[in-house]
A and B are shown apart, each in its own frame.
Chain A
Amino acid sequence: MKFLSIFAALICALGLATAVSAQQGPLRITIEEGIIQPLPFAVPDFQAETGEAGQLAGDLARVIAADLQGTGVFREIPNSAYIAQYDDFNAPVSFPDWKAINAQALVTGAVSVSGNNVNVKFRVYDVVSGTNLGEGLQFSGTTDGWRRMAHKVADEVYSRITGEGGYFDSRVVYVSETGPKDDRKKRLAIMDYDGANVSYLTDSNAIVLAPRFSPSGDRVLYTSYESGFPRIYVLDIGSVQQRVLESAEGTMSFAPRFSPSGNTVVFSISQGGNTDIYSMDIGSGQSVRLTNTPAIETAPSYNPDGSQIVFESDRSGTPQLYIMSASGGEARRISFGEGRYGTPVWSPRGDLVAFTKQHAGRFHIGVMRTDGSEERLLTASFLDEGPTWSPNGRVIMFTRETQGEGGASSLYSVDITGRVLRQVNTPEGGSDPSWSPLQQ
């Protein structure tokens, strides 16, 4: 009896202590639901610190705002809504004025021009907490490169808010197309990611296909019919010099892609009605056969560390996606959905594979995990194909062709949520885009 009373007292004391301690600790709440909407931001025209910088101050702000808004992650608040006019880079920010118009991020900057040199400095603020997001930065360059400087500022802003790298200071090489469908002229072109600053790398005397950037962004691989049948060329962007990659006589080589190191090229060779995948050391010209089946195997793409290759094969009867070691060997099928899968590209993040899918008379751009799970189709149209990843693995650019005799090809981009689909403005038709890494 005595023992029972003591035991009961101890239990009571323990319960009381537990209750009290529960009250003393912090209140713990778990948030698992949220909202999905663009983050409102403001980029007032930069302060012109010199007289010559007046025009540039506004242009820089507009390009930065367009970059951020184009992601779909941000929403620009127009200048007309501003309460406080920004005119001094070093003046303290009146956060209440920006809060009043619901801005959550603010980018301020100043630009000065001296001769041909431009100096741009900027700061990023979290308006809600009233704090700086990182330190202020400044870039210097020439007046001709002002757009690049704007892209760099936008990349930094994007990175500070989202925690991941941007993709604005990047370029895209693609096949520019002109003329009717039955006599279409194709040539390699290169542009900023947003379609600005287009220039041409080849003429339209020979058909060119599938350009691919090197990891360093200074070279481009592409397939050309210059010799009468498809062969792979390497083009140096700086000098616009090209050379053909060695291949055996009577073979057709195509669908090239650089390894992450930039020293190896993986591509397809069609010989005697059979197509297999090979890799070649660019320095020595030595080739290694990676697949050896009677099926058509093509469109190889390395993973970010270069240890694996995803490719397309019809060994199961229909084109499907497979993954194998970069040195060849047994392949593992990863696509099992209905339809035909092709042109796989490994994401720079390494977690996803983008692909083209044809099913029920429609073409789609989609993504799936590298084990084939969580397949999601991001687009649907008469003809979508040839995906390429942005440097940060957030956006996919691809070719969309319209139906009919007058159908034209153009470039589109879609983010991996599938929510933000945009056409990329090019002066002419475009196809086969390849996104460069961020420029140094």
Chain B
Amino acid sequence: MSRARKTGNIVSGVGHFVLIGWILFGGVFTSRPDPVEVQEVAMISGEEFQAMVDASRQPVEVAETPTPAAPEVTEDAPEVDAAPEEPAAAPIPEVAEPAEEPVEEVAPEVSQAAPELPQPPAEVTVEDAPVEETPVERPAEVVAPEPAPRPEPETVQEPTPQEAVVPEETGETVEQPQEAAETPEATDRIVTEAAQPPASAPNASMRPPARRPSAPRPTQTTQAPATPSQEESTVDDAAVQAALEAALSSAATDVPTGPPMSSGEKDALRLAVQNCWNVDPGARWAQTTVTIAMSMTQDGKVVSSSLRMIASEGGDASTANAAFGAARRAILLCQKEGYPLPQEKYGQWKEIEMTFNPERMRIR
């Protein structure tokens, strides 16, 4: 055994001896009983107990003087309580019933026969529901005036677009008559339907503004830590601040985007377009992949003039043009009243790039 180890054993042994002795005699494990409060109990007889009870009942008689006032208060109280309960219960059912009826009944009736609609449900609901009347009243007003006032703006447009087509046969001039011809027919229905949502509920909520970096922060951070590596920290903090500013400033300047597009929302768009993408599997363009960029309006419609091919792969210019034509037809055909895109995320789909890859449609 080496000397060092021997010394260590000795030191260890002494240490353990001292520790054990301290535990045994130092009072570490001495039991200290919990303090118990002891009360003395005295035995009394039944007579003494009765005497004590009688003595305790005496003060009740003193309280009899205020009692006459109490019944007056209790008589008023039920009236007060009943009053708020009854009005609260009564109007609620009345409001709720008419509010639902007009929404369901007015819309279909108006769409079928304008003059017949306004009669029953709309008027009843207007009287009963003070706050929620607006959706009910509007259809009644729209229908009541009869077709004569309604077509003013649109009937004027009908003849104009067909004449306006004359100058050019391009897509821009063509779209005007298209809208003008369709809107009057749909006016009776669309007007009433369009009048409902704006009165009842907002279409979209405002996106909370992005946080802007506070200006004084950089000065605070650079001055506060007066450590030996002050220069380094100043440089680092400046870099951090610059990165934060770059990130946040871009966020602040963006259009309201909402939360990221979900895969379901993207799939809805994809499905809508592919239902109109007519692929000729035997054609040469079926071997060409094209990417098309487009701008969208907030109601989900494509700005047709913005459609452009930004990339093609797997064919020559003629097949790329044919593939572009098929893709463009698909995009424009299936938009109808607008693609099903979340308006609160408009900033994310304001610009869209669609890649049409026919590889899986190709004949093999």
Q: Does B293 contact A (CB under 8 A)?
A: yes
The contact size tier of chain B is 35 or more
Interface string of A316-337 (1 = CB under 8 A from B): 0000000000000000000000
Q: Which residues of B contact A284 (CB under 8 A)?
A: none
Write the chain B residue with the least CB distance to A369. Answer: B364
Interface string of B351-364 (1 = CB under 8 A from A): 11111111111011
Task: Please tell me if the beta carbons of A6 and B240 are within 8 angstroms of each other in the complex.
Answer: yes
Stretch with Cβ within 8 A of A (4 or more), from B12-20, B78-86, B112-120, B164-172: B164-172
Complex formed: what's the CA distance from A6 to B232 in Å? 11
Complex formed: what's the CA distance from A349 to B286 in Å? 14
Complex formed: what's the CA distance from A35 to B354 in Å? 17
Task: Please tell me if the beta carbons of A162 and B322 are within 8 angstroms of each other in the complex.
Answer: yes
Task: Please tell me if the beta carbons of A20 and B240 are within 8 angstroms of each other in the complex.
Answer: no
Task: Please tell me if the beta carbons of B257 and A23 are within 8 angstroms of each other in the complex.
Answer: yes
Task: Please tell me if the beta carbons of B360 and A33 are within 8 angstroms of each other in the complex.
Answer: yes
Q: Does A2 contact B (CB under 8 A)?
A: yes
Stretch with Cβ within 8 A of A (4 or more), from B47-55, B131-139, B274-282: B274-282
Once A17-B247, A36-B361 are accepted as A-B contacts, the answer to whether A129 and B332 lie under 8 Å apart by CB is yes
B244, B273, B284, B293: the one within 8 Å of A163 (CB): B284
Task: Please tell me if the beta carbons of A31 and B266 are within 8 angstroms of each other in the complex.
Answer: no
Q: Does B187 contact A (CB under 8 A)?
A: no
Complex formed: what's the CA distance from A132 to B170 in Å? 7
Task: Please tell me if the beta carbons of A126 and B353 are within 8 angstroms of each other in the complex.
Answer: no
A24, A35, A93, A376: the one within 8 Å of B277 (CB): A35
Complex formed: what's the CA distance from A128 to B336 in Å? 12
Task: Please tell me if the beta carbons of B266 and A29 are within 8 angstroms of each other in the complex.
Answer: yes
A32, A95, A374, A417: the one within 8 Å of B360 (CB): A32
Complex formed: what's the CA distance from A6 to B221 in Å? 12
Task: Please tell me if the beta carbons of B282 and A415 are within 8 angstroms of each other in the complex.
Answer: yes
Nearest-CB distance from B221 to chain A (Å)? 10
Cβ-Cβ contact count across A and B, 8 Å cutoff: 203
Chain B residues 284-336 with CB under 8 Å of chain A are 284-285, 293, 304, 307, 315, 318-323, 325, 327-330, 332-333
Nearest-CB distance from A374 to chain B (Å)? 5
Interface string of A30-66 (1 = CB under 8 A from B): 1111111101000000000000000000000000000
Complex formed: what's the CA distance from A397 to B304 in Å? 41
Task: Please tell me if the beta carbons of B332 and A29 are within 8 angstroms of each other in the complex.
Answer: no
Besides A13-B246, A17-B247, A32-B274, 6 other CB < 8 A contacts?
A24-B254, A30-B357, A31-B270, A31-B355, A130-B170, A417-B282
For the complex of A and B, 8 pairs with smallest distance between CB atoms: A163-B322, A130-B174, A34-B277, A130-B171, A26-B351, A17-B247, A13-B243, A34-B279
The 9 sampled A-B contact pairs (Cβ below 8 Å) are A14-B243, A29-B352, A32-B358, A35-B275, A73-B283, A95-B174, A129-B304, A130-B304, A131-B170
